[in-house]
Amino acid sequence: MNEFENNPSELAEISRREEQEFRMRRFKRGAVVLIALSLLLLLLLLENIAYDYAFVCRIPRGTTVVDRGSVREHAGIFDFIFKSAWLEKLRPYLLYRHYVIPPGATEIGAGAFDHCIHMRSIRIPYGVTKIGNYAFGTCLNLREIRIPDSVEAIDVSAFYNTGLRKIVIPDSVTTIGGRAFDRSPELREIVLPDSLAEIDSDLFFECPNLTDIRIPSGVEIIGSCAFKGCTALKEIDIPSGVTTIGYYAFSGCTGLETVVLRDGLKEIQQGAFENCTGLKKIVIPSSVKHIGYQAFHGCSALVDIELPPGVNVAPEAFSGTLVPPEKIPTPKQPQP
């Protein structure tokens, strides 16, 4: 016989204790969840405060030319951490993620934000007319930037090796220096201004994810290696204003399948489309007078070409392709 059967009060006491324990366990679980949610909300609040104060670098008011020195002279709630001279120099390059340039600035100087590896965004005011050499070089986490339509010039390597994915350059910009977007691995889309007359050398050199670009109608020259190694680029339309496609301009664009060349083009220089292994057909307009050495060398899928009469084709211009030899004119010998 069960020992509790003759003692109902003890059985009731055990049941009461079990119920209390169950309620306590449920209360503790609820408390843990509540504390976790409270901590999450606190972290979100702190993140917003940090975004607004701790991780924002505000260039001092009155600055006209933003240089490496002015980037270091800023305000933030963690300034007390950086008391020693060597930490003071490292501060903006290690901590800040968002940067604000004050109204009145007219120029972003050479190397101003070079190697600000944690920079994610920057606010540039209207009135800035120039972005200098390597101004944002190796800002690996820079994801967004808006260039105001007061900017007239972007210098050499200004956005070299950044994390930018898309950028719109206003029509106020008339010159973009060579290598300005060189080795930007995340760059997918760029809008170039109609005011641009030249795509300078190495401008988009080894931007492997670049897929969307339009050559403005005002461009006359595509410089050497301008798009070299842009392996995701699938099509390119060369407007009629372009007269020269430079050395190795599209070399190694292995994803390039469609190239539209228009009347007005005069010269395709050495290696311009070398190793474009996805290209199957090319139509050379009648205005072209010269196709350079190995211009289409290694285009292993190229089976069909249309050449105008009288065009000068350099040796090995179509070597390593599937174009029948009878379609390729004999190179002209230089006059004695």
The CATH number linked to 79 is 3.80.10.10
Q: Across residues 164-190, what is the average pLDDT?
A: 95
Q: Answer yes or no: are the C-beta atoms of 249 and 270 closer than 8 Å.
A: no
Whether residue 67 is contained in a domain is answered as yes
* 258, 295: one domain: yes
Whether residue 216 is contained in a domain is answered as yes
* 18, 111: one domain: no
What domain count does the chain have? 3
User: pLDDT tens digits, residue range 96-121?
Assistant: 788 889 999 999 999 999 988 888 88
Residue 117: what pLDDT? 84
| Residue 297: pLDDT over 70 | yes
* 204, 320: one domain: yes
pTM, 2 dp = 0.78
| Residue 178: pLDDT over 70 | yes
User: pLDDT tens digits, residue range 28-55?
Assistant: 787 888 888 888 777 666 655 555 455 6
* 38, 60: one domain: no
Long-range contacts of 230-236 (CB under 8 A, 24+ apart): 230/204, 230/206, 231/255, 232/188, 232/208, 234/258, 234/278, 235/259, 235/260, 236/260
Residue 36: what pLDDT? 81
| Domain interval for residue 247 | 197-336
Q: Across residues 166-189, what is the average pLDDT?
A: 96
Whether residue 116 is contained in a domain is answered as yes
| Residue 306: pLDDT over 80 | yes
* 295, 248: one domain: yes
| Residue 329: pLDDT over 90 | no
